[in-house]
Structure 1
Amino acid sequence: MAIDLIIDKRIHDLGGGFKVGRVLPFRARRMVGPYVFFDHMGPMMLAPGIPRNLDVRPHPHIGLSTVTYLYSGAMTHRDSLGSNIEIRPGEVNWMTAGKGITHSERFERARLEGANMHGIQAWVALPNEAEEVDPSFAHHAGDDLPTWSDAGVQGRLIAGEIDGLRAGVQVHSPQFYQHLEMVSNARHTVSAQYSERAVYVASGSIQIADQSLAAGRMAVLKPGQAVDLRARENATVMVLGGEPVGERFLLWNFVSSSKARLAEAAEDWRQQRMKLPVGDDMEFIPLPDSAAPPLKT
């Protein structure tokens, strides 16, 4: 068997009615390589004039990089470094939180024009030596994201390197992240280059060995062997993975190898010691009650 585990997305409300399909973390599989969080956004039709409570208000992160990638729609990103940019389909927003950053994500274009919001947001845990780096943000419009076309497969490498290709995104540990558009009966081989790999179907369905994988499902692959994917119909597929960075703990929007560091970050946010995004500092997401008790190591 090529598949070790199948994970179904679970519906989660980000607040204000914008719902996502959460895949990682999962009780039986917390991470795939350094990928510690994986949310499928939409597809969701947003009408002109949508209320601001659908936006993701300013909130903090530590110890990770966030990766935003859209199939359709647009989002406006602002952060505490002063970044202010709209991301569109095929582009990548890569924000490294390190020792601490705050940001917001707003549906400003949809509020004006309407939009079909559809995309993926993932978190990549930083390795121990990079957990406390200075925060940074990079927008990649696509020129340094390698693309290819082969027998019914249109591919884009979003981050990392695989199959002789390397994306321009600065990563901190060995990993890869691909977007595939596959027509019916097209095939793609996931190489055995990394010890941990997973395949997520965003739309359509595919076949892995004798297992069918429908939209909204992630297959965690067994290590050590190349795995063939076949599209059962037109399909949008994400392939990701890398090498493990070690155990990570999560508290709300914080990721760390240290529970004490999570408690420190939570207290910093509770006491409003973290700078809010430049130009978007009039509201924020308060620390949830469930994250309030300090953690013990």
Structure 2
Amino acid sequence: MTDQQSSIAGIDTVILPMALRRTDGFKVRRVLPLLNRRTVGPFIQFYHFGPEEFDAGQGFDMRPHTHDGLAALTYLVDGEIILRNTLGRMQTILPGEVNWMTTGSEMAQRPSTEFRASGSNLLGVQACVALPLQHEDVASEFAHFASSEIPRICADGVEFTLIAGTSDGLISPVRVFSETILAEIVLTGSARYQLKPEHRDRAIYVIAGEVGVVGQSGTFGEGALIVLTPGIEIVLQAPAFHAARLMLFGGGPLADAPHV
């Protein structure tokens, strides 16, 4: 893992997360927590899984695991996951859909029988958000949102999808318990996105492709975590003839959360 303090205006730190290997060669990058960056806003865990191509008979299996005092959010770019919890809920998640589960049960994930039999691709993120103390014992919730329910703006080569929280005049239907922003940004063909300081804590994670900052040389490639300086506006730009897929996440600091 390589870290560097950045001299680029508006960028605090750039971190290249460690690549992890799991069952069946499934690749997971742990974006948070890291040794020198534990949280970004209320986000205390952030994982990037894939891109992965499974042969017939193979697939992604994650054993049951708990999220006490947390809310877990799953978002897919490609593929399919069947998510089950120990309260008896089951949900198939497809690209563009969002699953939100608060504390109170274990969660397990696997592909469908059809996907496992035929082979499939998989790309997505899963994040855990710390709950404020007053919501630590909130009743377990297992909410699913279709792609059509998630607000999206498409203009001038920019596709902005607001997965959770508020940003750019949009409000996500996902019920959060503190100031939050989680969005997918896709830039194509030199497109630019003006990232305003709507939230104090913000980070950009490059899930695919590469992205640059207008006015600065060089680009950041897949796996780079770019932690932004509070209160500073920057403009992101995809290289010419290439696309960039980014995750923007953060929000307000959550000092009273039990896991922070």
Q: Structure 2-normalised TM-score?
A: 0.90
Q: Equivalents in 1 of 2:84, 2:194: separation in Å?
A: 37
Residue of structure 1 equivalent to 2:211: 206
For the residue of structure 2 that corresponds to 1:143, the secondary structure is helix
Does the 8 A contact of 2:81 with 2:93 survive in 1?
Answer: yes
Residue of structure 1 equivalent to 2:180: 175
Q: Equivalents in 1 of 2:256, 2:14: separation in Å?
A: 21
Q: Deviations over 1:49-69 (max 9, x none)?
A: 116xx4112222201111111
Q: Deviations over 1:228-257 (max 9, x none)?
A: 1111121111111100111667xxxxxx35
Residue of structure 2 equivalent to 1:149: 154
> Which of 52, 60, 65 does residue 59 from structure 1 map onto?
65
The reply on whether 1:93 has 2:99 as its aligned counterpart is yes
CA RMSD of superposed structures (Å)? 1.6
Q: Equivalents in 2 of 1:202, 1:132: separation in Å?
A: 33
- Higher strand proportion: 2
The farther-off stretch of 226-235 and 163-172 is 226-235
Q: Structure 1-normalised TM-score?
A: 0.79
Q: Equivalents in 2 of 1:78, 1:115: separation in Å?
A: 20
Does the 8 A contact of 2:44 with 2:129 survive in 1?
Answer: yes
Does the 8 A contact of 1:46 with 1:110 survive in 2?
Answer: no
- Give % identity: 38
Query: Counterparts in 2 of 1:274-285, with a 5 A limit?
Result: none
- Residue 31 (structure 1) shift: 0.6
Residue of structure 1 equivalent to 2:14: 6
Does the 8 A contact of 1:128 with 1:245 survive in 2?
Answer: no
Q: Equivalents in 1 of 2:14, 2:257: separation in Å?
A: 21
> Which of 111, 114, 129 does residue 116 from structure 2 map onto?
111
Does the 8 A contact of 1:203 with 1:235 survive in 2?
Answer: yes
How many correspondences in the alignment?
247
For the residue of structure 1 that corresponds to 2:165, the secondary structure is strand
Does the 8 A contact of 1:2 with 1:208 survive in 2?
Answer: no
> Which of 162, 166, 173 does residue 167 from structure 2 map onto?
162
The reply on whether 1:244 has 2:253 as its aligned counterpart is yes
Q: Deviations over 1:244-287 (max 9, x none)?
A: 111667xxxxxx35xxxxxxxxxxxxxxxxxxxxxxxxxxxxxx
For the residue of structure 2 that corresponds to 1:132, the secondary structure is coil
Residue of structure 1 equivalent to 2:75: 69
> Which of 227, 231, 247 does residue 220 from structure 1 map onto?
227
